[in-house]
Structures are given as structure tokens and as C-alpha cells.
Structure 1
Amino acid sequence: MTGKICCLTLLFLLFFSSVFAEEIVLNMDGYDALVTRDGEIIVAPDRYHAIYELGGGYLAFGMEQESENGFQKLYFALGNSDGNILTETEYTHLEYADGIILFEKDGLYGAMNEKAEVIVPCEYTWLQKCEEGFLALKSDTWDTAPDNVYILDAEGNESKSSISVLDMGKTSSEGMIAALSADSYTYGYLNAKGEWQIEPSFTYAGEFSDGIARVSLGSGLGVINTKGEWAIKPEYDALENTGEILIGTKYSKGVTLIARDTLQVIAEFSGKEVYAHGLGEYIAVYMSDSTLVVSDKGENIFAAPGNAKITYAGAGVIVETEGESALFSFNGVQLSVLYDQIIPAGVHSGRELFIIADLEYGGELTAQYGLMDGEGTLICPCEYRLLYPLGEERFFAQRGGYTGIIDASGMWIARFGGDS
């Protein structure tokens, strides 16, 4: 089967994709910690080299151990939000999905229930939750030989499907998983019974979301429904689903905006150098002479110069030109002074907050971070080596030899280092 600014931006994406938790993981140099929102230490930063949340109240607690080849490798144990360890520290990967914990050990996959009881033995080269059961593979997923698909029920009882595949999707969506047929060398969608729910005929097949999926026939990208019927013809070079809007791009021709609910065209922008991307609940459209913010009704609600980069900011936009950024309202009023970088940090106690950055380009790029509100008022000056949101009114911070949590006013809630 064929198988320090960028990091800060990734942390913001992880933050916006998760729900605020009562417990907070602090990823620090050397060891991680687990604390409450009030700063009470659940797990001190002296044992685990990595801690990450899985969902469902579970966490992975990782320790570096010597592997068979003599190198240090990170192995994880399953634990809960109270810091209790539920398994041995022996897994190279843990993942939570619909009440099931998938695990990897020695290159093979299995599954356990929420009591940490193994329900699928660790003997599969690929394993994915699909509705009430699982789909699995047993053969080498990295070679070019066909792989038989196996079906497992909720108790782990196994049966063999008649289907062979060359590639399999990583996640199940709406009861289906995209897979590359070993017979036709095209993609289709398998159901939880290991049968073709949508017959293979595509050169690309994406995940389903709210009843539609992006697919390609080679001539271009389009959209199908769960019956495999075309909802949007395959005529686009790129097709982005923002949730509310589908953005169809034809290279050197222009961009079409399509309403997600009705699948009707709401706006079109023509030109050889026109492109667009999702911007929160809006769309940013980049043209040769201007950059537009377009609503889900196809209305132009903000315009900036053609060389500007735009980021969604809730009640307004962040406009970056020539390496400097400012916060603007949708009616064009500049709300903040210029900063080297402005990054949305979410809504906290009803007010929108932003990370601001002071960048220094010497022998190497260095950055200091601060905090401002949605009116452009400075809350914390740019004196933090690292600063990013952890949850409601809580931020990870590094300053003056300390690492820990501050609130939205800059007060330390918990900190490690120095004399503490």
C-alpha cells in the first residue's frame, strides 16, 4: 500500500478547535505539567516529557524510554484529568474516538474501552472506528500489494470482507471511509460492513461533512452527496469547504462562491490572479488591485489594497501590509496602532483579545509577545517570550525565567522556574 512563529500559529489552531477544559496542560521545556484553572498542580513538571489531551476526559502521559535500537523514544500511558494513570507506559500513539481509545504499540494497532480494557487486540496494521465497530487491515500498509479489509464489531469479533484496497482514509465520516480499490485503482467509500457504499470511480475522495464530500474525476474537483450523486460538477482546480461557503477556483480564470446549504452560486470574481480562502464566517478574495472581505450572502463588506493580507477578527479584520499589521472595524476604522504581527486569541469573558508581536530581525528572528483587546487597547506589553491562549481567561506565558499561566490581565495564576 502506498502509503518560533509557525509553532505559535499551530497552537492557536489547536486552541480554537478544542473546548475549554477545567484542566490545563502546560507544554514546557523538558517536562509537561497538568494544572487546574486556578493554578492547583495536578501533575508536576518532573515526570512526563509530554502530556496531551485526547478528549472524553482522557489524556496521554508520555515518558522518554530507550527503544530496541538504543535510541530514546516517547512512550505513552493512558490517564484521566485527575492525573490517574490507567495503563502501562507502552504506547507510541493514543487517540480517542466516540468512547473508544485507539492505540499503537510496536507498529500495530488495537482499541480499548473507557475502562482501559482491550476490546480489539493489538494485531492490525491499520484500524479505524466506523459507526459501532471498526474497519481494519492486517498486511503491510507500506507496500504496493492489495490489502484485505476486515470488519470488527463493537466487541472486537472479526470477519473478512471481500474487498481489497491499496489505500484507506484516516477517519470515518458519516459512516463511510474513503478507500482506493485494488481492482479499479480508483477511490470510493466503504461503509461499516466493509462494502462499497459508493462505488470506486474517483481519482480523489475527501471526507464527508454535513452530507457532502469533495471528489475528483481527474478533470477537476466537484462535490457529491451521500448517495454518490453530483451536487457540484467536477470543474474546479481547487475547492475549499469553509462550512458556510464552498470556494471553487479555476486557475487563471477566477473564483466562484457557492452557498453550502443551497449549493447555489452567490458571487463570482474573474481574473487571472484571483484567489480566495475562508476567513472565519467570511471569505477573503484577493485580486490584483484590491483585497475584499465577502459575506456568506456574497456582499462586499470590506476592502483593502491589493497587496494586503487579511485575517478574520470577529467584529473586524486584521490587515497586514509590508510586514506591519493593524486591527480594523468592518467600516474601515483603524482600531489599533501598527504591530509586527496580530493574532486572534479568542473571546474571553465577552471581549475579543489578540496576541501582538514585536519581531526583531538580527542574526536570527526573535519575538516578544503581548496582549490587546478588540478596541486596540494594550493590556500586556510585548515582554513575553511565548504567549498563547489555553482557555477562557487563561494564557500560556514565558517571561523572566518563568513559565506558566497568566489571566487576561497579565496576573500569574501558576508559574514554574525562578525560585518556585
Structure 2
Amino acid sequence: MKMKIFLALVIILFISCSSAQIEDFSDLIIVFNEGHKSVINTDGKIIIKDLEKRLKITLVKYNVDRQIQVVKIDGKQVLIDNQFNVLRDFNYDVIHETREGGLMGRIDKDGHAIKYDLYDKEGNFLYSSKDPIFDYNEGIVLMNYSNGPYEGKFTFIELETGKVIGNEGYYTANAFSEGLAYVYDYNGYSAYINHEGEEVINGWVCDVFADRRMSSTYFSEGLAPIRLGIFEGADKVGYINKKGEIVIPMNFVSDEPFSDGLVAIADKYNHFGYMDKEGNWVIEPQFTSAGKFKDGIAFVNTDGFTYGSVINLAGEMIWVGQKIPKRSY
């Protein structure tokens, strides 16, 4: 059955490629256009008006940053790689991405989670647990145990050996990235630990609620966002290097990771632009929201009623997003 699905998909792709080459999912720039998921090139020209219709698939959980995607073919949910090879059935009630680029699938029964399965970035099965798998990267699983000695705590487990890394449980934590992981203990103390569980950056005492608002504390391209406490300016974010030195002062809003040498960040008026690692504006603040760059393009929102616009590294708009219909009361 899997082979038949694979052959059918290959035939579809061969026919589809006659007018526009589709060789690798990661090369696609997918935008919303007139109710369809369309593909544009870097000049903003539509090369495929309806990707799902062309490939005869439904995109379920997709992200061009990943090497694997979840799609439906003939109503069957499967995992494919970026060359559109079917890897396995993938029937889960909830699917989350991991920091590594893999996926975590959750199975529910009677409204309760009963099983969590972890897959790596190539779609290989890694680990199964009845307790919540929070994230995974660099060979280390971040668990949030629902019972036992670590109940309610975030705990790092080395997948190969099963050993606990760092303390036996943190109040909150994020997965490892570039060799370091952010942790927050029950005393309101924040630090970054290495793979041996040693604190390599520390010294911040943060308010738990202020700190948990940060969606990203990951190192990316050598820098990570940081915010201090509940004191004046607690909503302001800056960036540190791996020595713990502040390289971009805490004067800004947002906590996006660096990519393509830039970070999406907001000024005091909550207008988003893009800044380099020296703290210089490369693309001036002008957007209501902004995402990270990948291969020279980023998704932005230009106003409160437009979403899914695309810009290049020069800040030029190559695709204007859809308008959100205004509500009438």
C-alpha cells in the first residue's frame, strides 16, 4: 500500500513539474492566495496557484525549515520527506515540531493524552513515553513528567544513556541549542547549562511570570534573547553572546532568534524591523509583526488587516498578503 502511494505521488510530481519544477519542498515559498496555498518565486511571481491541488495532497503540518512534512494523501495521513517520498503512516491527534526539526506525535483517548512518540528530523522513530515529551535537540529529550519523582518538573534526559542532565527538575526550561539550554529553577534563578549540566552563563534573577512570557531563549547564530525580572523595563529584550555579555541592550520588544544574520525586533512604538548583530537597523521598523528570515525571505504583516506578506533581505516587498475581512457587528 505504501509503495502504491509513493508511486502515485511520483507520477503526480512528474506531471506537475512540466510547468514548474518541484524537486524539494524546502525550496518552496508558500503563500496564501485566494483561499489556496500558492507557490511564488523570489521575484514574487506565482509559479503554482494551488499547490495542494497540483500535488493532490493536503498539507497538515508543514514547515519549509524541516526535512519532513505531514500530509494527507487520499485521506490517509502520512509523513513525507522533502523529496516527497512517503516515509510512514503518521496518525496522531496532536503533532508538535521539535527544536531539532523533527516531530512529536501525541495520541489521545477519552480527552486525555496517553502516549507521546518522538521522531528525528529525518522521520526516524526515536522514543515513546506516556509522559509529555516537551522538546528534543542535540540528542537530549526535554521531558515534563506527569507523575513519579519528577512530577510537574522539566527534566533533561540524554536519549542514548538515559541519564539526567543538570538538576533533577526545573520549573521551566527550553531545549538545547548550539550546546546550551536555558533553565529556570523554583527560586526564580535563570541560567544556561551545557551538555554536562554545568552552568556556563548565570546571574539573572527573573520573575517567573515575566520570564515565561518569552517564547524563545535559544541561542541562534551565537546570540540569545534575555530579559530581566519584573522591574522597570521588564518587557524589554536584548541579546547576549555565549560569554553572557550583552551585545544588544535591553531596549526592544520581541525575542525572535537570529537567522540570515538578522533578527526581527520591535522598537518602542511596537513597529517591527530587522537588526544585525551589532544592533544596527538593517530594515527600519515598519511592520505590525515579522518572522525570521530563511534563505533570504521573511514573512511580515504590514498592518492589522493584512497577513502573509513576504520581503527579501533588502526589505523589498515581493508578495503582498491577504486582507483579513473586517467584522461587522
TM-score range, shorter chain: 0.5 to 0.7
Deviations 1:334-370 (A, max 9, x none): xxxxxxx933999xxxxxxxx998x9xxxxx98xxxx
Structure 2 vs 1, CA of residues 149 and 311 (structure 1 numbering), >3 Å: closer, same or farther? closer
- 2:240 aligns to what? 259
Match of residue 28, structure 1, among 27, 33, 48: 33
Q: What count of residue pairs does the alignment treat as equivalent? A: 260
Name which of 141, 164, 188 aligns with 1:177: 141
Give the distance between the partners of 2:69 and 2:43, measured in 1 at CA: 29
**Does the C-alpha gap of structure 1 residues 105 and 207 become closer, same or farther in structure 2, counting only changes over 3 Å?**
farther
Structure 1 residue 389 displacement after superposition: 3.3
The partner residue of 1:112 within 73, 77, 80 is 80
Aligned equivalent of 2:48: 43
Distance 1:104 1:232, change over 3 A: farther
Q: Which moved more, 1:123-132 or 1:173-182?
A: 123-132
Partner of 1:249: 228
- Structure 2 equivalent of residue 207 of structure 1: 175
Tell me: CA distance 1:153–1:246, structure 2 relative to 1, closer, same or farther (3 Å).
Answer: closer
SS in 1 for 2:144: strand
The 8 Å contact of residues 112 and 120 in structure 1, kept in 2 or not, is answered as: yes
- Aligned partners of 1:135 and 1:192 also within 8 Å: no
Partner of 2:286: 342
Residue 195 of structure 1 and its aligned partner are, at CA, apart by: 3.1
Tell whether the 8 Å contact from 1:151 to 1:193 is kept in structure 2 after alignment. no
Shift, 1:41, TM fit? 5.2
Distance 2:172 2:319 in 1: 40
Distance, in Å, in 2 between the alignment partners of 1:107 and 1:219 is: 49
Change (3 A) 1:138 1:191: farther
Given candidates 186, 202, 205, the residue that maps to 1:235 is 205
Contact residue 91 and residue 105 of structure 1 kept, 8 A? no
Deviations 1:274-316 (A, max 9, x none): 9966698799999xxxx7xxxxxxxxxxxxxxxx667556555
State the SS of the aligned residue for 1:250: coil
Rounded to whole Å, the distance in 2 between the matches of 1:398 and 1:90 is 21
1:236, distance to aligned residue in structure 2 (A):
1.0
8 Å CA contact 2:274–2:282 kept in 1: the answer is yes
What residue in structure 2 maps to residue 350 of structure 1?
none
Q: TM-score, normalised by structure 1?
A: 0.44
**Structure 1, unaligned runs of 5 or more:** 1-20, 52-60, 64-82, 292-307, 319-326, 328-340, 347-354, 360-364, 367-384, 400-420
Alignment of 1:23-172 (within 5 A): 24-37=29-42, 42-44=47-49, 48=50, 61=52, 85=55, 88-89=56-57, 92-95=60-63, 99-103=67-71, 110-125=78-93, 138=107, 140=109, 143=112, 147=115, 164-165=130-131, 167-169=132-134, 171-172=135-136
User: Is the contact between residue 108 and residue 126 of structure 1 (CA under 8 Å) also seen in structure 2?
Assistant: no
Give the Cα–Cα distance (whole angstroms) in 2 for the partners of residues 92 and 30 of structure 1. Answer: 16
One of 141, 155, 165 as aligned partner of 1:188: 155
Structure 2 residue identity aligned to 1:235: V
Match of residue 80 from structure 1? none
- Distance between the aligned counterparts of 1:138 and 1:356, measured in 2? 34
Residue 228 of structure 2 aligns to a residue in which SS?
A: strand
Return the offset for 1:266. Answer: 7.7
What is the Cα deviation at residue 103 of structure 1? 4.5
* Cα distance in structure 1, aligned partners of 2:243 and 2:71: 40
**1:17 equivalent in structure 2:** none
Work out whether 1:226 is the aligned partner of 2:195: yes
Percent of aligned pairs sharing the same letter: 14
Give deviations 1:32-60, integer Å, cap 9, x for gaps: 5434456765324xxx3xx5xxxxxxxxx
Q: CA distance change for structure 1 residues 106 and 142 in 2, over 3 Å: closer, same or farther? A: farther
Identify unmatched segments of 5+ residues in structure 2: 1-25, 292-299, 323-329
Q: Structure 1's 229 and 313: CA in aligned 2 closer, same or farther, altered over 3 A?
A: closer
Partners of 2:110 and 2:37 in 1: how far apart? 33
C-alpha change, 1:121 and 1:235, in structure 2 (3 Å) is: same
> Which has a greater percent of strand?
1
The one-letter code of the counterpart of 1:260 is: N
Query: Residues 245 and 144 (structure 1 numbering): CA distance in 2 closer, same or farther, change over 3 Å?
Result: closer
Amino acid in structure 1 at the alignment position of 2:228: T
Shifted more, 234-243 versus 209-218: the winner is: 234-243
Structure-2 change in CA distance of 1:90 and 1:257 (3 Å): closer
What is the RMSD computed on CA atoms of the aligned residues? 5.5
Change (3 A) 1:177 1:95: farther
Q: Is the 8 A contact 2:92 2:107 kept in 1?
A: yes
Bigger Rg, structure 1 or 2: 1
TM-score if structure 2 supplies the norm length? 0.53
Which of 297, 316, 319 pairs up with 1:396?
319
More helix by share: 2
TM-aligned CA distance change 1:105 to 1:125, over 3 Å:
farther
